[in-house]
Amino acid sequence: MDLITKAPKGTADLVPADTHLWRLAEQVLISEAELNGFAEIRTPAFEHTELFQRGMGDVTDVVEKQMYTFEDKAGRSVTLRPEGTAGTVRAMLENGLYNAGYPVKLYYNIPCYRYEKPQAGRMREFRTFGVELFGTAEPIADAQLIALAMSAFRRMGLEDVGLQLNSIGCPTCRKEYHAALKEYFSASREKLCPTCLSRLDRNPMRILDCKNPECQELAAAAPKITEYLCGDCRQHFSQVQAYLAALGIGFTLDPGLVRGLDYYTRTVFEFPSQTLGFALGGGGRYDGLVEEIGGPSTPALGFGLGMDRLMLALKEQHVDFPEPVKCEVYIAAMGPAAQVKALTLVNTLHSCGVPADCDICGRGLKAQMKYAGKTGAKFSMVLGEDELASGKAVLKDMSTGETRKVDIGDSFVDDYLTFSTQQEDLRF
Ligand code: HAM
């Protein structure tokens, strides 16, 4: 085939075999979020650029290198959202959701855009399932949020997802830490990559998540934030750990974990997949972001899961999900009058929530039955002149060969349900 163009680099089509799995995973996440009292929010796919610059920090990889930013026809700078948190904070404030009282609990399932070098688990358009929780500084909230994610992983059958935990403190303890980092990295400034060199004065913490091997080697021996935590932050962090222990959630303390965005304060965490070797998601507290975006000082926290990565993990671990039911009943028809009847019976089954189909391609009876087999239909029925005349037809269980004469008039649905339930019972 000579297509005029292919899908843009770093994007993926999700075909029906994928979307079925995606929806099952999304259902688990939505159900877990709703069990915890979160409600869905939908925000625009693009925002004014300054929201991300101010929100995520302008000295971050995402803002400096990865944003899809362009001017619209009126000359305004807009950006395709690279993540969900900043837009959710803006929308929470703009719509006054805090008026109903705190905590405000929101979740979203959205496409995000980052201009990155595509590789396994790294796309330019990727989907994020995120939750954001506003209005509590209590460490119990951190534990509840983490428990939500861990229990979703468990329900999906993902056995290899860990929890890496750290605290990066508040602006007070961060000041002293920044000074220590600056001193440490300045001593080896000749080894830093040009980006890190430019970050040395403005934001030395970002050097810690540089991907350059030489910078990484230096970062590994850099002073750790946990040594600089103030008393309050230290206590907060130990309480988060105590709640997690009470929930039976195992974790690894990782003093080098700082996350790549500037808004984080105190607790930060990631969910690494051992099989894939990278994180399925991450998050933490961002107690200063609501104020930064123009709202009242409001403690908050959240996490984002990379759905594309989650899918890779599910496939890699061969997690069993139920097959999609494409068709439960196939009604084959011979002749125009039988076709009309088949279409109306199929329509009736749909109104009762039963997946059903009939021929819409003008096929002969043999081809129709072959197609019925291909759809995986559990039951089939053939309609011809005799059936129309008698008002009865034979319903057949495709796997056992069991048959039953059923009414094709007013009692059709009752007869169908009686037979199909009996067959289901026999299968058990
Ligand atoms: P993030 O760690 O930048 O955090 O992204 C969250 C997750 O999105 C990552 O762990 C990863 O699974 C997925 N992800 C990120 N970039 C890509 C990509 N290029 N391709 C595929 N997947 C990707 C955030 O975005 C924060 N907003 C999370 C958060 C919510 N923190 C507090 N609330």
Cβ of 303 closer than 6 Å to ligand 1, yes or no, is yes
Cβ of 280 closer than 6 Å to ligand 1, yes or no, is yes
107: which strand partners? 40, 131
Answer whether residue 351 shows pLDDT above 70: yes
Instruction: Detail the DSSP E strand segments found in 254-346.
Output: 265-273, 278-285, 300-306, 329-333
**Helices and strands in the chain, H and E counts:** 15, 16
Answer whether residue 185 shows pLDDT above 80: yes
Mean predicted confidence (pLDDT) in 406-414:
97
Cβ of 126 closer than 6 Å to ligand 1, yes or no, is yes
Write the residue with the smallest CA distance to atom 6 of ligand 1: 304
Cβ of 282 closer than 6 Å to ligand 1, yes or no, is yes
Cβ of 87 closer than 6 Å to ligand 1, yes or no, is no
Answer whether residue 426 shows pLDDT above 80: no
Calculate how far, in angstroms, residue 187's C-alpha sits from the geometric centre of ligand 1. Answer: 32
Answer whether residue 368 shows pLDDT above 70: yes
**For 219-249, what is each residue's pLDDT tens digit?**
999 999 999 999 999 999 999 999 999 999 9
Encoded tokens for 121: 């688990």
Neighbours of 247 (CB within 10 A): 14
Cβ of 67 closer than 6 Å to ligand 1, yes or no, is no
Encoded tokens for 427: 């299968």
Write the residue with the smallest CA distance to atom 17 of ligand 1: 122
Q: How do 265-273 and 252-253 pair as beta strands?
A: unpaired
Percent of the residues in the chain that have a pLDDT greater than 70, as a whole number? 100
Mean predicted confidence (pLDDT) in 151-155:
97
Question: Which candidate, 266, 274, 301, 235, places its Cα nearest to that of 85?
Answer: 301
Separation CA 369–CA 374 (nearest Å) = 9
Answer whether residue 427 shows pLDDT above 90: no
Walk me through the domains of the chain, giving residue ranges and CATH numbers. 16-170+230-316 (3.30.930.10), 329-419 (3.40.50.800)
Q: Note the pLDDT of residue 98.
A: 97
Can you tell me which residue has the tokens 């403005």?
Answer: 202
Cβ of 114 closer than 6 Å to ligand 1, yes or no, is yes
Q: What is the DSSP string of 241-254?
A: HHHHHHTT---EE-
Calculate how far, in angstroms, residue 87's C-alpha sits from the geometric centre of ligand 1. Answer: 14
Write the residue with the smallest CA distance to atom 13 of ligand 1: 306
Residue from 108, 109, 126 whose mutation best tests the ligand 1 pocket (most atoms within 8 A of CB): 126
Calculate how far, in angstroms, residue 112's C-alpha sits from the geometric centre of ligand 1. Answer: 9
